[in-house]
Amino acid sequence: MANEEHALPGVSYVMPVLNEGSYIETAIRSVLEQDYAGEKELILALGPSSDGTTELVLSLASGDPRIVAVFNPATDIPAGLNIAIRASRHPIIVRVDAHSELDPNYTRLAIDTLTRTGAANVGGVMRARGKTSFQSAVARAYNSRFGLGGGSYHGGAEEGPAESAYLGVIRRAVLEEVNLFDETVRRGEDWELNLRIRNAGHSVWFDPSLEVTYWPRESWSKLVRQFAATGIWRGELVRRYPARNPWRFFAPPLLVVTVLLSLVLLVLQATGVVAGWLGLVLSLIYLSPVSYVLLLVLICFSKAGGPGWSDRWRFFLVLPTMHLSWGVGFLLGLLRGARDTVDTSRTGI
């Protein structure tokens, strides 16, 4: 066993943390219980939490030398990740989310895949789960191709090169080569990092055997704020990298635009301002929102919507909440940039 541990690369898990009192102990346990024989350490970058998270982490760290706490006064995720990476010491960096739980064999399989493929970054599948009826509906939306646009890490894709990686198991040397995370990108930082990794000539790899449990936001208001902030930053990234974004990112803002145009046209037709052939031609704009609602009904009231009618109705409301919040955010970010937008669903406000 000693020879095996010596042969395996050491792993540093890095986790930005802010107001995660309900999840942090489980996330930490999933890291410390990894079935990996090499050296391990967990670096937690603590933002200024208001729910007792900091005190809880410091208590856990005092009783386990594998847990190291550093402080992230800026609260932003990329800044916290960089602080944790700089405080770490091993050649493999594993990003962990405080809302996530790693499968016990996650690290071992990921290191095997890094070695086998020569990739710079390896990621797997996000399996969203819920503890409440609302969170379960959001989890079903996350796990649905219709919900989050069919990215490989939401399931269904075969192993191979990827555009980005969920969380990621990354070679430290490559991270340092591309200057770590860009701290000016508050959301979408994984996608932006992986773009720079690929531009530097390295590969990003998707391995569906790697699974991470993710716990979504627990309320409507947090879900709206999370998706609006994420959409704003995606709009910002489109401004920065106009030719590098997949088509699926443009579907929610297109839906928002057609819904707004449909409402305007409906008013103009109701008041008689638009009528006749012109009104008939312009009515084609209704096809987009009507098709969306029909598709929504088909998906939500199939087995994918959940086991019972109440589950399906929640799913029916959660999906457009995610799509429209993200789409409105995207348009704002595209038109004016992200500026100082933060994800207030993390702040406890």
Low-confidence ranges of the chain (pLDDT < 50): 1-5
Identity of the amino acid at 27 = A
The domain ranges of the chain are: 2-217, 240-346
Q: Where are the beta strands (DSSP E) in the chain?
A: 11-17, 40-46, 67-71, 92-95, 100-102, 121-128, 160-161, 169-171, 204-214
CATH number of 2-217: 3.90.550.10
Q: What is the pLDDT of residue 2?
A: 46
Q: What is the pLDDT of residue 347?
A: 74
Q: What is the pLDDT of residue 113?
A: 97
Q: Where are the beta strands (DSSP E) in 269-327?
A: none
- Going by C-alpha positions, the residue among 152, 132, 131, 129 that lies closest to residue 142 is 129
Q: What is the pLDDT of residue 245?
A: 79
Q: Are 227 and 326 in contact (CB under 8 A)?
A: yes
Predicted TM-score (pTM) of the model is 0.90
Q: Are 290 and 305 in contact (CB under 8 A)?
A: no
What's the distance, Cα to Cα, between the start and end of the chain in Å?
Answer: 48
Rounded distance, CA 261 to CA 205, Å?
40
Q: What are 29's two structure tokens?
A: 């346990």
SS3 per residue for 51-110: CCHHHHHHHHHHCCCCEEEEECCCCCHHHHHHHHHHHCCCCEEEECCCCEEECCCHHHHH
Rounded distance, CA 311 to CA 300, Å?
9
Contacts of 154 by beta carbon, 8 Å cutoff, 6+ apart: 125, 126, 142, 143, 144, 145, 147, 148
